[in-house]
Each structure stands twice: as structure tokens, then as C-alpha cells.
């Protein structure tokens, strides 16, 4: 794979006159020794080819050559040709609750997660790149006790990763203010990483989060503030949180940052790109402006904003940064002591090349342990009625008559769906966000049980695994009728049978079936899902009359 090459000489050569005089003093042998074997020569070495290790950090600690190469090939090489930067700004955001990528279809196929992010930051630090880590906000995307616990765990992770500044997203601030305050507050002498100009937790004068922050890295002074866009503020219905319009709220921190003599100023704007550009135009002092929204993947290069032209100063380049969604990427801005190329950017896919960080795995284990301790009831999960109003029987009941179909199911991945959660490290079988697609009787996209659905292995062992009724519908009434446990007219018995029948014989019928599959095989958890490819793996059907004959034998 060809690639740009690293610079051949990282240091300016000695001026000729100085070199000659120095040579005269030291002698030719010394010069030759220096030229041939000394410190200059390695800089003159042939340019690195693309198939050689890139110059910048390229993998997490302990990641094998093979893994690194696989993901460099799959998702691109990073930091090619980057010399040592003075400092790097690492931007993340819109984690949207994806504390780790789902492992349903192989975690290695997915990007994101705090563990990889930690190792990525570690790789930059190991390369002695001074890092300023900044997060836009929206750590979570749901509401309820599980989300509150997850928010606390993620914030603990950000603190452990020594984030310099973290903004708020609207979904963070939909959580109860008590929970947000408990998670983000300063601990002892360690200040909170959270910064926001137009959100005051329990009032602006509570002192819980500052309006702006100035940090130093690599000899550079970086000023940072954050705001929520006005449309995002409208989403927050929380009396304990005081807010101000973004443009108005930026007056004070912008003035403070201007006075602070920063080398670079960053605005983390959790707003639409349109609103962010308006804020950037009104406050041109910010040379890196981060916006929310946009597409799921960030663009390969940041958009250029009109340069800042302050009287008596040369124009300053400005950039608008999009970060994508779900924390799949980090966007890195490198700041260099190089007049020709003072700023470089790199979109970094947080894939398996960065490996797993032990500290973050422990944090995840703690999060899972909290979910397990609270249990489904403690997490406030109240079952809702299934749209059909019917109840579940369990796959073993189906097997009494539908023997050949059950055999297909038994040999499919669906039959081990819950087992895969139980055997993961840490185990995920207490996590409703995982359970919803791994047991019978849940609404997959709502992460909530239906009445009579799975409520734990002890209480409902017959509803473990991804069973028949998640596609065909709850079958308790049908099973009771076929067993003769309730007497029903023949027409009703036939109706109960037909309600569970799925057909693929018309485009509309097939679409209904596919839509049901997509409830779990969605873009997040099964990105390669294609019905026509997957269906043959679980294809089943009964010989005409076979099930009815078996049912007759039951009575």
C-alpha cells in the first residue's frame, strides 16, 4: 500500500560555514563518523513505505502485529507521516450510550467503546505526544435507572482518562439533576472535567461546573468552553437546571479566554451544524469549533471556516469539526511547530487495533455488577402489554408439536443467545440492553419486557434464549388449545394457529417478517444482516398436517 512518506530530515542542516568551521576543529574523521554513523543519518534513511510501520502511534499496547495490520487495512492507517507534534487535541463525543460496542456479531467488527478509547489515548501518551482530550457530550441516549448508572460509569471513565474538558449534551441533561450532579461534581481537590457556558446545574452560581477552562500542553495554552444549542436547550425539561441562550452565554467565557492569551481556543457546541456556524461567525476567536449532528461517521477532513482576521494580526485558519455518532471515532488535531503545515487532522477509527484497557474493563464490570445487583425490578422495568395482548409459552412448548422446526432452532445461534451473554467477561445477562434480543418476550428496541416475558433465569427459565415466539408471537393460548387444557371451538383453534403463522409468499408478507428481524438485526448489532443470506441458516417449516397430528396426540 503506497503512502505519503515521513520527512527525510527532521532537523535543519547545519549551515555550511558553521559545518566547515566545526569540521576544521573536529577533523574529517569526526565529520564522516557523524555523517555515516551518527545521529544525522537515520533522518536521511530511505522514506518509510506504506507497508512499514507508520511513524505515529498505530496500535494499543499489547496488540499483535496481525491485529494491527488487519484493522489498518480495514479502516485505514492513521498518523501517516506525522512528525512529533507540539500537542494534540483529541475530540470525542456523542457516545450515545455506547459504553462498549455490541459483541453480538463479533466485537471486532464494531468500532468504539471506552476501553479502546483509553488505550488509544494511552498510545498517544506512550509516543510522548502531549494530549488534550475533549468531549462534546451526550454520553447517554436513554432515560431511566440503567441510563443513570451508565452515565455515572461513563463519567468515571472520562475522569480516569483525564479529560481536560467535557461538555453536556441534551440527553445527559434529561437525567435527574441529582444524578448528574453526583456524577460530574469535583472529587476532593480534583476539579470536574465538565465545562458549560449556558447550563448551570442547580443554578449558575452553584459552582458545580465552570464556564470555561484553560489548559496547557506541550507549551501551548488551550482555552475551552462549551455550549448547548438553543434547539437542544428546548429538549431539557428539568427545573433544577438553569439555562441561557448560547450566543448570549458565550459573551463572558469568550472575553475571559481572549484575556487569557491562549494559543488556540476551542468551542464545543452541542448544536446543529447550522447553529454552530452562526456561533462560530459571531465568535471568530475560536479556531476549533466542534458541532453535533451530522452523519454517523465524521468526514475525513474538517470543514474550513472563514479565517479569523484580527486587526494587526495575520489571518488565523479556523475549522469546524464533526465527530460522528456512538463514539466510533476520535478526531485528532495535531499542532506542529511547522510554518508550512502547522495543523494536521486525523480521523481515528476506534477499532480493535487499540486493544482493551484493563481499567476500563473493570469499570464495565462494575457497571454490569450494579445492574445485576438492582435486578430488572430495581431498574424500574415494568412489563408492558404485548400488542397482541397474548402471553408466552416458551420454545420447549412449541417443540411438543413442531419437532422439525425445533430441531432447526436448536442448531441455530438463536438457541444460545442468552448463553453467549452469560459466558462473556464481564457477563451481560443482567443488562436489559443486551437481554432484549437474547430472551423471549421483550420489546427489542425498547429494552423492556412484555407482560409474561422473560424476567430472569430463576423466574422464567422457559423463556431463556431467542425463541420461537419472538418471531411468531406469544403462543400460550394456542398451546393451551392444542393441549386440550382449554376447550375452544374448532374455528378459534384455527384462528389461534393462523395468528402465529408467518408467510414469505408475498412481498408484503416477507417485508413484515424482515421488519421483525430488523428489530434485533439492526445496523448497530448486525450491520451485515441481509434476510436472503441469513434466512437459509434458520429456514424451517412443517410438513402439512405434521403439527396438527402431533397436537392430536397430545390431547
Hey, what's the cell of 172?
445527559
CB of 12 to other proteins, least distance (A): 9
Backbone dihedral angles phi then psi of residue 227, each to the nearest 5 degrees: -140, 160
Q: Is the peptide bond before 263 cis (omega within 30 degrees of 0)?
A: no
> Are residues 429 and 435 in contact, defined by beta-carbon separation less than 8 angstroms?
yes
Query: Mask of contacts with other proteins, 236-255, x by CB under 8 A?
Result: xxxxxxxx------------
Distance separating alpha carbons of residues 287 and 304, to the nearest angstrom: 10
CB of 399 to other proteins, least distance (A): 30
User: Can you tell me which of 178, 317, 337, 407 binds other proteins, judged by CB under 8 A?
Assistant: 178
User: Can you tell me which of 61, 341, 396, 509 binds other proteins, judged by CB under 8 A?
Assistant: 341
Residues between 255 and 314 that touch other proteins (CB under 8 A): 293-297, 299-301
- The answer to whether 20 contacts other proteins (rule: CB under 8 A) is yes
- Candidates 136-144, 261-269, 418-426, 535-543; binding stretch for other proteins (CB under 8 A): 136-144
CB nearer other proteins, residue 2 or residue 261: 2
Size, binding site for other proteins by CB under 8 A: 92
CB-facing half-sphere around the CA of 25: CA atoms within 13 A: 5
Find all residues with CB under 8 Å of 440, minimum gap 6, and list them.
392, 394, 395, 453, 454, 463, 464, 465, 466, 467, 468, 469, 470
CB nearer other proteins, residue 113 or residue 122: 113
User: Which letter does DSSP use for residue 191 in this model?
Assistant: P
CB nearer other proteins, residue 76 or residue 456: 76
Find all residues with CB under 8 Å of 386, minimum gap 6, and list them.
441, 450, 451, 452, 453, 473, 474
CB nearer other proteins, residue 492 or residue 530: 530
Q: At what angle do helices 546-554 and 476-483 cross, to 10 degrees?
A: 60
- Candidates 168-176, 210-218, 312-320, 419-427; binding stretch for other proteins (CB under 8 A): 168-176
Query: Mask of contacts with other proteins, 376-395, x by CB under 8 A?
Result: ----x-x-xx-x--------
Which residues partner with 222 through β-bridges? 215, 264
CB of 66 to other proteins, least distance (A): 17
Cell 457556558 belongs to residue: 197
Instruction: Say how far residue 305 (Cα) sits from the centre of its chain.
Output: 27
CB nearer other proteins, residue 205 or residue 555: 205
Residues between 41 and 100 that touch other proteins (CB under 8 A): 47, 50, 73-76, 80-83
Distance separating alpha carbons of residues 332 and 346, to the nearest angstrom: 5
Query: Mask of contacts with other proteins, 438-477, x by CB under 8 A?
Result: --------x-x-----------------------------
Residues between 180 and 209 that touch other proteins (CB under 8 A): 181-182, 185-187, 200, 202-203, 205-206
E-strand spans in 409-550? 442-443, 448-449
Amino acid at each position: 500500500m503506497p503512502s505519503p512518506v515521513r520527512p527525510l530530515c527532521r532537523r535543519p542542516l547545519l549551515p555550511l560555514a558553521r559545518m566547515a568551521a566545526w569540521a576544521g576543529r573536529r577533523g574529517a574523521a569526526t565529520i564522516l563518523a557523524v555523517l555515516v554513523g551518527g545521529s544525522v543519518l537515520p533522518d536521511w534513511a530511505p522514506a518509510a513505505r506504506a507497508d512499514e510501520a507508520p511513524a505515529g502511534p498505530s496500535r494499543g499496547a499489547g496488540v499483535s502485529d496481525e491485529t494491527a495490520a488487519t484493522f489498518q487495512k480495514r479502516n485505514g492507517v492513521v498518523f501517516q507521516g506525522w512528525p512529533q507534534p507540539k500537542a494534540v487535541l483529541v475530540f470525542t463525543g456523542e457516545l450515545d450510550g455506547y459504553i462498549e460496542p455490541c459483541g453480538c456479531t463479533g466485537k471486532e467488527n464494531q468500532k468504539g467503546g471506552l476501553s479502546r478509547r483509553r488505550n488509544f489515548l494511552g498510545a498517544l501518551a506512550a509516543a510522548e505526544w502531549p494530549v488534550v482530550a475533549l468531549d462534546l457530550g451526550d454520553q447517554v441516549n436513554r432515560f431511566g435507572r440503567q441510563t443513570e448508572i451508565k452515565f455515572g460509569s461513563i463519567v468515571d471513565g472520562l475522569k480516569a482518562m483525564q479529560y481536560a474538558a467535557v461538555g453536556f449534551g441534551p440527553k445527559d441533561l434529561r437525567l435527574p439533576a441529582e444524578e448528574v450532579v453526583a456524577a460530574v461534581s469535583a472529587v476532593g481537590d480534583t476539579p470536574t472535567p465538565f465545562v458549560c457556558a449556558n447550563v448551570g446545574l442547580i443554578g449558575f452560581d452553584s459552582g458545580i461546573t465552570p464556564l470555561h477552562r484553560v489548559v496547557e500542553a506541550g507549551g501551548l495554552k488551550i482555552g475551552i468552553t462549551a455550549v448547548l444549542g438553543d434547539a437542544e436547550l428546548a429538549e431539557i425539561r428539568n427545573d433544577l437546571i438553569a439555562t441561557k441562550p448560547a450566543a448570549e452565554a458565550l459573551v463572558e467565557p469568550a472575553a475571559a479566554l481572549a484575556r487569557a492569551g491562549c494559543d488556540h481556543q476551542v468551542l464545543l457546541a452541542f448544536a446543529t451544524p447550522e447553529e454552530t456556524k452562526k456561533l462560530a461567525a459571531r465568535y471568530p476567536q475560536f479556531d476549533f469549533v466542534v458541532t453535533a449532528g451530522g452523519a454517523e461517521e465524521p468526514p475525513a477532513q474538517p470543514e474550513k471556516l472563514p479565517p479569523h482576521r484580527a486587526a494587526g494580526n495575520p489571518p488565523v485558519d479556523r475549522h469546524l469539526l464533526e465527530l460522528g455518532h456512538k463514539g466510533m471515532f476520535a478526531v485528532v488535531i495535531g499542532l506542529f511547530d511547522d510554518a508550512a503545515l502547522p495543523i494536521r487532522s486525523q480521523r481515528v477509527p476506534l477499532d480493535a487495533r487499540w486493544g482493551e484497557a484493563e481499567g476500563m474493563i473493570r469499570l464495565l464490570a462494575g457497571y454490569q455488577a450494579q445492574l445485576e445487583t438492582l435486578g430488572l425490578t430495581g431498574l424500574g422495568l415494568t412489563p408492558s402489554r404485548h400488542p397482541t395482548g397474548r402471553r408466552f409459552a416458551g420454545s420447549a412448548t412449541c417443540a411438543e408439536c413442531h419437532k422439525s422446526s425445533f430441531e432447526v432452532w436448536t442448531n441455530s445461534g438463536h438457541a444460545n443467545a442468552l448463553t453467549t451473554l452469560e459466558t462473556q467477561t464481564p457477563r451481560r445477562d443482567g443488562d436489559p440492553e443486551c437481554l432484549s434480543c437474547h430472551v423471549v418476550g421483550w420489546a427489542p428496541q425498547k429494552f423492556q419486557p412484555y407482560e409474561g416475558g422473560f424476567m430472569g433465569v430463576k423466574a422464567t427459565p422457559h423463556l431463556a434464549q431467542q425463541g420461537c415466539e419472538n418471531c411468531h408471537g406469544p403462543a400460550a393460548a394456542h398451546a393451551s388449545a392444542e393441549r386440550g387444557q382449554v376447550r375452544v371451538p374448532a374455528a378459534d383453534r384455527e384462528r389461534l394457529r393462523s395468528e402465529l403463522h408467518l408467510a414469505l409468499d408475498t412481498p408484503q408478507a416477507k417485508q413484515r417478517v424482515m421488519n421483525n428481524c430488523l428489530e434485533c438485526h439492526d445496523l448497530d448489532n448486525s450491520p451485515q444482516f441481509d434476510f436472503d443470506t441469513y434466512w437459509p441458516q434458520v429456514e424451517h417449516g412443517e410438513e402439512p398436517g405434521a403439527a396438527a397430528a402431533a397436537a392430536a396426540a397430545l390431547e
